[in-house]
Amino acid sequence: MKGLMTGLKVGVAMLALSGSMFATSIFSDNFPDSGVNAEPQGLGSTNGTMDLLKWDVVSGSVDVLDTFLGVNCGSPSGKRCVDINGSSGVAGRIQSTQQFTFAAGSFYTLTLYVSGSQRSGSDTMRVSLGTLGSVDITLPAAATWQLVTLGAFAGNGSTGRIVIDGAYAGADADNIGLVFDDVNLDETGTPEPATMALLGAGLVAMGLRRRK
């Protein structure tokens, strides 16, 4: 009996470990500043005038910064970051070029690093993941870099994009907004039936071996 219980404990541990291995990053952007996939730096970037590699600017403008005006893009990835209120004086709204299908049975978690404008005032932006959920972020200018997490949201078969919106509460009349970087979307699935069957078989085998 003791051997069987040992086998069960090991089997449950294997099952828990296996379940933790199904999280996959399905989108990531840290606005790189070098290499083949470098993000171009620009001010007053608008849809059609500067191509954000993984985003479309659907209204207003955004700025891709590299220590411009003393802004510290010091989130974990390093050098470049994005100001959601571009130099045109109209707050930007961007969405991921990639559209996602939020599969039933999977869970989705969106993270990004955000700081205050590092200049003046207080600013707000809304981050959304399709129709699964959203969060409004308001920070004073002096707020340091912090991790913001949305999720985990259960997939429901819908499709959608990541949207970061600096103008959801009305047009912003200046060119200073919240700054963000390191956007990442994870999908956490459930083990496939074949994997579950193998784990179950292993658990039974361990129990039988312990009983001999």
Residue 124 has pLDDT above 50, yes or no: yes
Distance CA 158, CA 79 (A): 35
Better pLDDT: 42 or 147: 147
Is the CB of residue 123 less than 8 Å from the CB of residue 178? yes
142 φψ region: left (φ > 0), alpha (ψ -120 to 50), beta (else): alpha
Domain locations in the chain? Answer: 1-22+193-212, 23-189
SS3 146: strand
Looking at residues 134-142, what average pLDDT do you find? 95
Looking at residues 149-160, what average pLDDT do you find? 96
Predicted pLDDT at 4: 40
* CATH class label, 23-189: mainly beta
